[in-house]
Structure 1
Amino acid sequence: MQTRARDLGVVIGSLPTGALNAITDVPGVRVGQTTIDDGDLHTGVTAIVPADVTAGLPAVVAVGNGYGKLVGTTQVDELGRLETPILLTGTLSVFRAADALLTYLLDRDPKATSLNPVVGETNDGYLSDIRRRPITEQHVLDALTNASADLPAEGCVGAGTGTSALGFKAGIGTASRRLPLAGDPLQRGPVAGAPTGTIGALVQSNFSGTLQVLGTPIPAPPRQTEPDGNSCMIVLATDLPLDARQLGRIARRAIFALGRIGSDYAPGSGDYAIAFATSYRPPMPDQDLGPVFQATLEAVEEALLNSLTAARTTTGFRGRTQYAVPHDQIIAARDRARRP
């Protein structure tokens, strides 16, 4: 059973979570994953599949550092619209994944002549033989067709099978925040009458820095070599009524959240956030966005931490080993943070 941050008593922020504490708490959002975890290959595909996405959903891509191979960004930014599921995978498999996503979409729309697949990546070449580009069309189709609204698996699964972060084994992580209803005793969010809803985050963690848990650093043990390609993909979903411009503000805050867990924003890091909304209602007033920013920061920070606590020590390509963060160190950091 995978361990999440809250299983270790680590609670990020003050806003309540959704029922699953996952991106799939946003109605209509499903996640599917295909994992390759054998010998020299530790990679996979993670698919985020919103309902009715082919009709176009408000969306934006924010770039923290553009050292990445993210496919499909210019049209999303030009039109403020997402029209395909979002795929995550390893760096050199992006283009095969994009082609497979086109196959999936063309089979469902025999009249389509223009489609904009969105596929992101991080470099899992430290633990996986990335040059073999092992992702096939079937891996992508399986991730898409098996997508569900259940709690997604975290850690060493899907696109996170071979990734590392902050000196430890990492992978996929997810979390959510619910903006409470007026009168909710936990309310620290919208004023009475303001729109309410859920922010969900899913991350593919693969970046450098020093892990911080509730502000307490947990340095990784030193070693002779470090993984190549330090990056992070963040996907945000919400049923709040937000337009593309407002989603851009949300997505930029998501990248800020990397710093809260210890990212050093290295120059070779491709840090991206893709945000989309499932609501077609008129956008909420900008003055009500403060709690949405808070929800975004909390959800992304917790998703990043879940990507680490759920991961397991992995030995892969050329016998390289990436160790999982010891849970007792997480608990000790939690206890230090609680001391007055």
Structure 2
Amino acid sequence: MQDDTSRPRLADLGIGTGPYPRGQHNAITDVAGVRVGHATVTAAEINTGVTAIVPDALSAGCRSVPAGLAVGNGYGKLVGATQITELGEIETPVLLTSTLSAFRVADALLTEVLAQPWHADTTSLNPVVGETNDGFLSHIRQRPITADHVHHALAAAASGPVAEGNVGAGTGTTALGFKGGIGTASRIVTLNDRSVTVGVLVQSNFTGTLRIAGVPMPAAHMLPDPPAETVGNSCMIVVAIDAPFDGRQLNRLARRAIYGMRGVGADFANGSGDYAIAFSTAGNGTEAARGWAGEHPADADLSPLFHATMLAVEEALINSVLRASTAYGPEGRVAHGIPIAIVRQRLRAAGATALE
């Protein structure tokens, strides 16, 4: 894993938040009741892993939470997608991994969830597993992810700060010509006198020309060697919100998350599998305690949350690149971490940063 002290996040570069402030950790875990865990797998020419996003609301008293799905381009293997669309809910944590390991991860996730006492009589369960292709930096055909890795990611899930860059499901990904990985961010919106937190976690692995605060950061000009290739060319986005959205509203929120990719320069190539899953943690009686009186927000009031979601996605994607360090794969392949000194220089030259 990279030295976190040497690689800044977007906020450390003096880039503002737009109209909505960041949460305490600027992470998906700023949404109360959401935890994140990673299992990172590195070996000879292997760079891969698992990332688990765990809604604590899933429990004996709450077998599912409201959820929505948006597909930007369906070139992927999102396990459990059709049931999310059909029923507007998820029944398990959301796990992210490598493309060819998605099915092993789904089976292991089933084992973990069915082992809970409240699922003793369960006969049908919909595991949710997303993926991107880390084949540029890893021997993807080996499918090295095991049930132990899934168990570790779930057991390690915690609130608070979230590790980013070369970690978990982002260990072997590349994005926008640089090393990509896991990124996260959050925004806080005041909606009808209530504070609403929206948090985002991304697994970045797609092409295009990176923009940070609107400033182009072309890998071809910033790296000494040719930019990293992106195999499979995909992005997974997970959005959590603590307002009581229903499945239809969460579908709408997920679509805005996909739109956020364009803000950082995604080119939405033919082979890109771009998916967003959005879920609400407000349930099991908690919405009444927070003043919602069991009602969903009106559609007419959602525009600020749509905007905040897009901003959080953009920042999470940028964080996934900023925090990722150079990684080496099979056959001498290299994905370079973005050169931070040049990023700072370009931002200063464009007047995009408040820092000197």
TM-score, normalised by the number of residues in structure 1:
0.93
Query: Counterpart of 1:21?
Result: 26
Rounded to whole Å, the distance in 2 between the matches of 1:276 and 1:287 is 20
Residue 189 of structure 2 is aligned to residue 179 of structure 1: yes
SS in 1 for 2:11: helix
Aligned match of 1:6: 11
Measured in 2, the distance between the counterparts of 1:266 and 1:29 equals 32
1:37 pairs, out of 30, 37, 42, with 42
Moved over 6 A (4+): none
* Alignment match, 1:311: 324
The reply to whether residue 236 of structure 1 matches residue 220 of structure 2 is no
Tell me what 1:52 maps to. 57
Matched, 1:246 2:259: no
The CA deviation string for residues 132-172 of structure 1, in whole angstroms up to 9 with x for no partner, is 00000000011011100021100000000000000000100
TM-score, structure 2 normalization = 0.89
Change (3 A) 1:12 1:195: closer
1:144 matched to which residue of 2?
154
Q: Flag the 1:163–1:297 CA change in 2: closer, same or farther, 3 A.
A: same
Q: Distance in 2 between matches of 1:150 and 1:30?
A: 8
Q: CA deviation at 1:15?
A: 1.0
Which has the higher mean CA deviation after the structures are superposed, 41-50 or 214-223?
Answer: 214-223
**Partners of 1:143 and 1:225 in 2: how far apart?**
28
Contact 1:214 1:337 in 2 (8 A): no
Q: Alpha-carbon deviation of 1:10?
A: 2.5
Distance 1:339 1:87 in 2: 35
Q: How far apart are 1:339 and its partner, in Å?
A: 6.4
State the distance in 1 between where 2:228 and 2:302 align. 43
C-alpha contact 1:252 1:273 (8 A) present in aligned 2: yes
Report if the CA contact (8 A) 1:195-1:240 is conserved: no
1:106 aligns with 2:114: yes
Mapped pair 1:196 → 2:195:
yes
Query: Contact 1:9 / 1:331 at 8 angstroms: preserved in 2?
Result: no
Distance 1:240 1:83, change over 3 A: same
Work out the percentage of aligned pairs sharing the same amino acid.
Answer: 55
CA distance in 1, matches of 2:231, 2:41: 20
Using the alignment, how far apart are the partners of 1:70 and 1:230 within structure 2?
14
Q: Which runs of 5+ in 1 are unaligned?
A: 181-189
Q: Any conservation in 1 of the 2:178–2:228 contact (CA below 8 Å)?
A: no
* In 1, Cα distance between equivalents of 2:107 and 2:242: 29
Partner residue, 2:176: 166
Tell me the CA shift for residue 224 of structure 1: 8.3
Q: CA deviation at 1:111?
A: 1.2
1:293 to 284, 303, 306: 306
1:121 equivalent to 2:120? Answer no
Measured on the aligned residues, the alpha-carbon RMSD in Å equals 1.5
Q: 1:224 to 1:163 in 2, by over 3 A?
A: closer
Q: How does 1:82-93 map to 2 (within 5 A)?
A: 82-93=90-101
Please, which moves more after superposition, 51-60 or 220-229? 220-229
1:228 is displaced (CA, Å) by 1.5
In the TM superposition, 1:317-328 aligns within 5 A as 317-328=330-341
CA distance in 2, matches of 1:239, 1:326: 36
Contact 1:177–1:199 (Cα < 8 Å) also in 2: yes
- CA-to-partner distance for each residue in 1:159-190, whole Å, 9 max, x for gaps? 0000000000010000000113xxxxxxxxx3
- Distance between the aligned counterparts of 2:90 and 2:345, measured in 1? 42
2:343 match: 330
1:67-126 deviation per Cα after TM superposition (whole angstroms, max 9, x unaligned): 000000111111101110000000000000000000001111221110000000000000
CA distance, structure 2, for counterparts of residue 209 and residue 84 of structure 1: 33
Partner of 1:268: 271
Amino acid at match of 2:234: S
Whole-angstrom CA distance in 2 between matches of 1:53 and 1:332: 46
Unaligned segments of structure 2, at least 5 residues: 284-293
In the aligned structure 1, how far is the partner of 2:58 from the partner of 2:129? 15
Give the secondary structure class of the aligned counterpart of 2:78: coil
Partner of 1:183: none
Q: 1:339 to 1:247 in 2, by over 3 A?
A: closer
Q: How far off is 1:225 after superposition?
A: 7.2
